[in-house]
Chains A and B, each alone.
Chain A
Amino acid sequence: MAFAAFSSSTAPAAADTSRKKSPVALLLLLPGILYLVLFFLTPLISLLLTSLKAPSEFGDFGEFSYAFRWENYVDVVTAYWPHIMRSFGYAITATFFALIISYPLAYFIGVKARRWPLLQSLALVLIIAPFFISFLLRTLAWKQLFSDESFLVTSLKAISVLAPDAHVTGTAFSVIFGLTYNFIPFMTLPLYTTLERLDVRYLEAGSDLYASQFHVFRKVTIPLSMPGIVAGTLLTFIPAAGDYINASREFLGGTGTQMIGNVIEANFLVLQNYPAGAALSIILMTAILVIVSIYVKKSGTEELL
């Protein structure tokens, strides 16, 4: 499980090797360490240094030199705090909806459909099937479906559900919809893997001990599927918070729905304000790290994993 890998494999593995000091283990770890140093640590340090750069005194537009300009952080937070808040707001909302939609789905496939393995695999294929089509294409397709001239929108206008001058694309709704839609498999699959192993005898024991169906669900099913819930919400929330496709104007977003990802993209590729983009990236990363670690601590799932 992705989350298990995330939480435990890196740190204890490193501790183990330092304790045992086996040359073979070191040798086997070498490619991995090299890879991480080259493609993770180096860019990270470079990003950190960039975020502290100051504009060159005599250079061209978009030229910066190394400095310790920590004000960059203050500047970007002041300028972009609505985007930062919006990113997390959208990501949390999308994660919530993905969970609400995925849980019953995963429960059905993992528990109710156990007697029909064929149905189980068919349902799983259907969940993974969208991955065979490019993420961008699918999002673009939704833009078509939500466009002002689409059958859906014109019909909704015809029956006065939508105002005549209303739009669907470019709204918070369409961005959250896109995020939810695109990340649902990341929620469903970890939920499925936990629920598939759920021992229904615990549920029977619960109802034997006077718990109604609702109480069994709340007191037994949910706690036992917590590892899946945590893994699924993390796998959805982390990419959703940094996503810039759904919120971009070319896809489902508009000027009022820009997320932090869009701002980072604009700073790097359009405004060529590299320190601002780098500072925002660092802020995004730190914020996610803090939120995730609080979440994992609070949910107390370490021992269930």
Chain B
Amino acid sequence: MGIDTFAESGADLELVGIHKRFPGFTAIEDLNLTIPAGSFFALLGPSGCGKTTTLRLVAGLEAPTAGRILIGGKDVTDQKSFQRPVNTVFQSYALFPHMTVLENVAFGLRRRKMADPLDKAHEVLSLVELDHLASRRPQQLSGGQQQRVALARAIVNRPALLLLDEPLGALDLKLRRQMQLELKTIQEDVGLTFLHVTHDQEEAMTMADTIAVMNKGRIEQMGAPQELYELPRTSFVANFLGQSNLFTGPVVGTTSTSISVDISGQKITVPIDRAHRTTGEITVGVRPEKLTLHSTEPAHNPDVNVMGPGRVIDVSFSGVSTQYLVDVPGAGNLIVFAQNMTFGSDVREDDKVWVSWTIGHGFGLDDEPADAPRFSPDLDTRTIAAQHRLEGA
């Protein structure tokens, strides 16, 4: 696929055995990834996990230490960034301050010697509803408008693959929601392959067909948003994509449909098809919104897991729901989300409560429990540095 023509459709991206080492640390370790053509793919991870580096490798702004990058089946590893059929929407937008909005958008077309660059630029600017500002300079526009110009500047080139580097990070919440929907619509309209890098799990889940959760230079899990949320494979995914209550204990009983785990004397049952491992010491979990609080001990029911009694140690109201923090001796603190169906809370701090959930809502992780304590201290130097920066700021 050359760069002198518009892409007819999205191309698939294939990363084969990618390693990227910078002096002093490894950013990406043995990354294998295939993104099918026409999909909206999100790379999700905390800062410093290697997701932006991955994007820069695909764009050709960095060279991999080892491994190959294939776009539409063609090896582009040795191509310079300007030779690749790829465009990027940068986190900082990087709109040229010395050019008008129109010239910014026409830049790529001019470089490729496309016919009527200005007409095409006007067309795309109309698509993002900014054609009336075509003669302005980027710095005269608001953040949201600049973001749309950056998007227009990239999609006007009809790249086989569009890379989005946290492009919505600088926008306020309302505008971000609106832009998420717009981006999704544009992707469906033009049918290109989008690779979106973000640390915002909600954004990734709203927009992407497929999410890959990245941590410390590796992909922890990949799949559709619902799949990742319902059946996380590791404690990192379980806690990064939403919140989870996790318990670790030995498997004490197995039936044809479920396994039971002993959590300091309380038996927790998980369906066997929702558990990644079925023997030995395993970690099981359940999402906070699947939990129900009871002020009296619920009657025994084989389809329901019960934990308790515990003590409510914190109640925080957040509009749609109320978040309870329940301390269950031996199992640690449980987070419970309860929808606010009635006025006022039924449970107060220091109340004695039981927590229950339907067995079908639990999941079992694949992690070695030894590697995955409930709140693992993150000793990765980059994360520590990032944390320091955040605290300093």
Contact surface of A with B, Cβ cutoff 8 Å? 199, 201-202, 204-212, 215, 219-220, 223-224, 226, 303-304
Q: A201-B90, A215-B111 are in contact. Are A208 and B82 (CB under 8 A)?
A: yes
Asked if B372 is at the interface (CB within 8 A of a chain A CB), the reply is no
Closest to A304 in B: B98
- Further pairs besides A205-B88, A208-B90: 4, Cβ < 8 Å: A204-B94, A219-B107, A224-B97, A304-B97
The contact of A207 among B81, B96, B97, B157, by CB within 8 Å, is B81
Q: Can you list 10 pairs linking A and B with CB atoms under 8 Å apart?
A: A201-B94, A202-B97, A204-B94, A205-B95, A205-B96, A207-B61, A208-B60, A208-B61, A215-B111, A219-B107
Distance between A1 CB and nearest chain B CB, rounded to angstroms: 17
Closest to A210 in B: B111
Distance between B263 CB and nearest chain A CB, rounded to angstroms: 50
CB-defined contacts of A199 to chain B, threshold 8 Å: 94
Closest to A204 in B: B61
Distance between A218 CB and nearest chain B CB, rounded to angstroms: 11
Distance between B221 CB and nearest chain A CB, rounded to angstroms: 30
Contact between chains at A207 and B98 (CB < 8 Å): no
Contact between chains at B82 and A210 (CB < 8 Å): yes
CB-defined contacts of A304 to chain B, threshold 8 Å: 97-98
Closest to A219 in B: B107
Contact between chains at A210 and B157 (CB < 8 Å): yes
Q: A204-B81, A215-B111 are in contact. Are A210 and B3 (CB under 8 A)?
A: yes
Asked if B59 is at the interface (CB within 8 A of a chain A CB), the reply is yes
Q: How many residues of B contact A (CB 8 A)?
A: 25
The contact of B80 among A207, A223, A224, A303, by CB within 8 Å, is A207
- Within the assembled complex, what's the spacing in Å between the Cα atoms of A210 and B3? 8
Contact between chains at B96 and A210 (CB < 8 Å): no
Distance between B39 CB and nearest chain A CB, rounded to angstroms: 21
- Within the assembled complex, what's the spacing in Å between the Cα atoms of A223 and B107? 14
- Within the assembled complex, what's the spacing in Å between the Cα atoms of A211 and B157? 13
Q: A202-B96, A224-B97 are in contact. Are A208 and B88 (CB under 8 A)?
A: yes
- Within the assembled complex, what's the spacing in Å between the Cα atoms of A199 and B91? 14
Within 8 A of A (CB), among B348-384: none
Within 8 A of A (CB), among B11-70: 59-61
Closest to A301 in B: B98
Distance between B276 CB and nearest chain A CB, rounded to angstroms: 39
Closest to A205 in B: B94
- Within the assembled complex, what's the spacing in Å between the Cα atoms of A44 and B392? 56
- Within the assembled complex, what's the spacing in Å between the Cα atoms of A304 and B98? 8
Contact between chains at A205 and B90 (CB < 8 Å): yes
- Within the assembled complex, what's the spacing in Å between the Cα atoms of A16 and B284? 72
Asked if B222 is at the interface (CB within 8 A of a chain A CB), the reply is no
Contact between chains at A209 and B86 (CB < 8 Å): no
Contact between chains at A211 and B90 (CB < 8 Å): no
Distance between A228 CB and nearest chain B CB, rounded to angstroms: 13
Asked if B153 is at the interface (CB within 8 A of a chain A CB), the reply is yes
Asked if B92 is at the interface (CB within 8 A of a chain A CB), the reply is yes
CB-defined contacts of A215 to chain B, threshold 8 Å: 111
Asked if B108 is at the interface (CB within 8 A of a chain A CB), the reply is yes
- Within the assembled complex, what's the spacing in Å between the Cα atoms of A23 and B190? 64
- Within the assembled complex, what's the spacing in Å between the Cα atoms of A204 and B62? 10
Closest to A209 in B: B108
Distance between B344 CB and nearest chain A CB, rounded to angstroms: 52
- Within the assembled complex, what's the spacing in Å between the Cα atoms of A211 and B99? 15
The contact of B111 among A204, A211, A223, by CB within 8 Å, is A211
